[in-house]
Amino acid sequence: PQSYPVCNHTLMLLSDSHTCPLVSTAKVGKTSLIMSLVSEEFPDDVPLRAEEITIPADVTPERVPTHIVDYSEAEQSDEQLYQEISKANVICIVYSVNNKKSIEKVTSHWIPLINDRTDKDSRVPLILVGNKSDLVEHSSMETILPIMNQYSDIETCVECSAKNLKNISELFYYAQKAVLHPTGPLYCPEEKEMKPSCIKSLTRIFKVSDLDNDGILNDKELNFFQRTCFNMPLAPQALEDVKNVVRKNMTDGVEDNGLTLKGFLFLHTLFIQRGRHETTWTVLRRFGYDDDLELHQEYLFPLLKIPADCTTELNHNAYLFLQSVFDKHDKDRDCALSPDEVKDLFKVFPYMPWGPDVNNTVCTNDQGWITYQGYLSQWTLTTYLDVQRCLEYLGYLGYSIICEQESQAAAITVTRNKRIDLQKKQTQRSVFRCNILGARGSGKTSFLQAFLGRNLLKQRKIREDHKSFYSINTTYVYGQEKYLLVRLCISLPVSCFLGTFELFTFCNCLPKCYDINNPYLQYFMDSKTPCMMIASKSDLHEARQHYSLTPLDFCRKNKLHPPQPWTCNTVDAPNKDLYTKLTTMAMYPHMAQADLKSSTFWLRASVGATVFAVLGFAMYRAILKQR
């Protein structure tokens, strides 16, 4: 069973029909075919041209309304003919089985005419219709088969009779089928093999359906695939029959009692060669492909409304899905993705979505490979900054299919308005953003990388063209895991900040770096966004500031916390307490600065972070050991 979008298809009937007010021996009966279909009896009086007829969707096998358009050379001009050809979804060329001249005109006149009036890359499918089969005892197929082999646009040939109603319904069924399940995009008759674009699409479908990524579709995966595409599982014997067909035709189509990619592609080639195009098309459309074997824009970018002052996050089910994708490709079970494993993961994408900057945006292991936590962090970052791209990526991975959801939009949580959070003095958000400000050389970039556990020595090894403007990692506040996204802002004088709306509007807190070893410069403006002064490079000697106020006095005057000493010039990974404080500020922007300056407040947050960091590491070790 398969449902299709409600659409109208135009069916055009053409023939070598020379009409005369008196008599004509050249008639082939195309108008009679239309009238026989409608009245279910052979008409006594046949007009020169039948009026346009619409077959309702509920009386057709494919449940798609069809418009039947007749053409008469006697009543219509060439220009009208060309217009009808340009609008047609399928064209039936009618000939008389007992008239050789009408058969010859199929190739000498009609096919060249149609090809001249249609785009080469999107040819209209053709149906050859041999009428008046009641007048002969032989078939015209011997003559027609070479023509079908010569022209790949011809989908099929049907011999029928308007007089005794033979194959009339079948004619229009095949015409509909040629529109809904065309051979052209799938198969090359000359080469007798599937086209590269079809192989590419089916390969992606195979990889998405291969849930354990072992290169084989086992019985469980085949049944899920069958149920996903056709709404019914296969009986055990039916599964074996399918695999036996593959075994008989190729040696490497079945391995470990499962279907390989070669076997999967062979089955679809077999379906197409046996005229079962609808089976392959049902699979392709279920996985989001259009008639040109491109993923539908509606599939990749489902509608998602995001009100102002709201952000986007992944929900629990989305994280579970992404975890399964990670596990599927983490073949060596080291809780990190090697470069080859990353490439394998993104083989279902038309391009590589992650560049080398990603490795400097999220946590990596000692080899520089993205860890499990870093992997989830990158997905969180993409969802927060560019949710449409996240929807696209989830579409390539088959989220809606594997998770049996209507679309990828089901993976996204749209947070409530920021004003409501301030009114209720609590937030439901899990992702917070801070924009780090400061003069050139104040330590902003180091602050980003230190959040990922990299000290100054490791940071110096990062290539300039691989650096990132973002870093994202998890922190724990009162036992709750949250994501903190740190955005590096370019160095600007204070006067420029006044017009930099995004710096203050699209973030939850504003840390401002200054180098204690250099004269202090003011980077501050009145803002409702929580701020924090960071005294970077605290391992160096503190220089006297060339400003009327010391940093401490400046913070007191503006009711900020005291400057927070920070350095990444350490032997081990830099301390992360400061990031926990920033997350806490972002979570509780309504709290007075006095409350945030309370040492008890920070102690509670820091203890919670420490406990959960230890628990998180223990769980990480436990998972690693279990694997």
What's the CATH code of the domain at 547? 3.40.50.300
**337 and 245 fall within a common domain:** no
Whether the predicted pLDDT of 220 surpasses 70? yes
Query: Is 452 contained in some domain?
Result: yes
Span 504-556, pLDDT tens digits = 557 888 888 888 877 655 545 556 778 888 888 888 877 776 667 777 887 88
Dihedrals phi, psi of 29, to nearest 5 degrees? 95, 25
Q: d(Cα 368, Cα 359) in Å, to the nearest integer?
A: 7
> In the structure, what pLDDT confidence band is assigned to residue 141 with cuts at 50, 70 and 90?
confident
**400 and 479 fall within a common domain:** no
**234 and 134 fall within a common domain:** no
Q: d(Cα 468, Cα 449) in Å, to the nearest integer?
A: 9
Which residues constitute the domain of residue 354?
309-415
Query: Is 43 contained in some domain?
Result: yes
CA dihedral 19, 20, 25, 27 (to 10 degrees): 20
Q: In 222-266, where do the E strands start and end?
A: 254-255, 258-260
**580 and 605 fall within a common domain:** no
Among the candidates 368, 394, 415, a domain finishes at 415
Q: And the tokens for 325?
A: 């994708």
**174 and 27 fall within a common domain:** yes
Q: What CATH code is carried by the domain that includes residue 199?
A: 1.10.238.10
Contacts of 225 by beta carbon, 8 Å cutoff, 6+ apart: 209, 217
Residue 217 to residues 64, 277, 320, 536: CA-CA distances in angstroms? Answer: 34, 22, 22, 55
**390 and 434 fall within a common domain:** no
Q: And the tokens for 222?
A: 């085949």
**456 and 326 fall within a common domain:** no
Whether the predicted pLDDT of 484 surpasses 80? yes
Greatest mean pLDDT among 166-170, 347-351, 566-570, 573-577 lies in 347-351
**138 and 173 fall within a common domain:** yes
Greatest mean pLDDT among 45-49, 384-388, 504-508 lies in 384-388
According to the model, what pLDDT value does residue 10 have?
52
Among the candidates 415, 447, 481, a domain finishes at 415
Q: d(Cα 597, Cα 17) in Å, to the nearest integer?
A: 93
First vs last C-alpha separation in the chain = 40
419 vs 496, higher pLDDT: 419
How much is the average pLDDT of 301-324?
96
Question: Among the residues of 62-140, which ranges form H helices?
Answer: 78-87, 100-105, 111-116
According to the model, what pLDDT value does residue 625 have?
46
Whether the predicted pLDDT of 50 surpasses 50? yes
**384 and 513 fall within a common domain:** no
According to the model, what pLDDT value does residue 106 have?
87
Show the 3-state SS of 353-395: CCCHHHHHCCCECCCCCEEHHHHHHHHHHHHHHCHHHHHHHHH
**119 and 26 fall within a common domain:** yes
Query: Is 157 contained in some domain?
Result: yes
Q: d(Cα 603, Cα 595) in Å, to the nearest integer?
A: 12
Query: Is 73 contained in some domain?
Result: yes
Number of domains in the chain: 5
**223 and 250 fall within a common domain:** yes
Q: What is the mean pLDDT of the chain?
A: 83
Q: Is residue 30 a contact partner of residue 130, using CB atoms and an 8 Å limit?
A: no
Whether the predicted pLDDT of 29 surpasses 70? yes
Span 328-359, pLDDT tens digits = 999 999 999 999 999 999 999 999 999 999 99
Query: Is 201 contained in some domain?
Result: yes
Query: Is 593 contained in some domain?
Result: no
Query: Is 9 contained in some domain?
Result: no
Among the candidates 355, 389, 415, a domain finishes at 415
Query: Is 279 contained in some domain?
Result: yes
**576 and 605 fall within a common domain:** no
